[in-house]
Amino acid sequence: MKKKLLRYSFNEKSEYIIQEGKSIYNDVKKNWSEFFKNKNPLFIELGCGYGEHTTRFSFLEKDKNFIGIDIKGARIYKGAKTLEKNKTTNAIFLRTDIQNIDEFFNPNEISVILISFPDPRPKKRDIKKRLTNINFLNKYYGLLKKGGELLLKTDDKQLFNFTIDELKKSSFKEIQLFNNIHINDSVHKLSSVITKYEKKFINEGKKIKLLSCFK
């Protein structure tokens, strides 16, 4: 309970977490160039969890701005602590439901959207909740710049194949598929980041799949 209260207190005060209840939650909506004080490309991580991709790439690619989005404060707490420790200026965490992302970004604004190990929601009744169903894909397409990239990183074969089928209904193009990005480090730059859950999946013998497509 004490740790939970400490996390709650940190999230409430941290300048690296934007969440409902803070005035900045509404101020940043469709206003990211003013927030970051530049017009650098936006890299968005959906369902970012502990924010491993957001933090790592914000350190490596200073000419881009990174936003990790997740609804669970206990997870983004860890990523925000890392950003605070390193006094990062090109990354932030946004605590909100992914359903709401079109409230925060303008059409044709985002350069890269990464969906990182989303809940596969295997039951048929939950298809509409999958983050790669056609309704979500159309939303991402509208938010991406021309030439912008959508990425899915997952261990789940069923979700991977479902996403391929959904993409065929969409306007995305240049679909690239990687059935095991950890064959070697040169497959894709995302192979350089192994998240907490990803490590668990690899230890279970699962292959980490990656899908890339463009607007």
Residues recognised as catalytic: 119
Three-class SS state of 17? strand
**In angstroms, rounded to a whole number, what is the distance separating the alpha carbons of residues 189 and 57?**
10
Tallying the residues shown for the chain, one arrives at 215
**In angstroms, rounded to a whole number, what is the distance separating the alpha carbons of residues 79 and 81?**
5
Q: CB atoms < 10 A from the CB of 126, how many?
A: 12
**In angstroms, rounded to a whole number, what is the distance separating the alpha carbons of residues 79 and 93?**
8
Helix, strand, coil in percent for the chain, rounding step 5: 40, 25, 35
Q: Which residue type does 206 have? A: K
**In angstroms, rounded to a whole number, what is the distance separating the alpha carbons of residues 40 and 126?**
36
Whole-angstrom CA distances from 151 to 13, 18, 45, 79 are 32, 24, 9, 20
As given in the structure block, the two tokens for residue 142 are: 């509208």
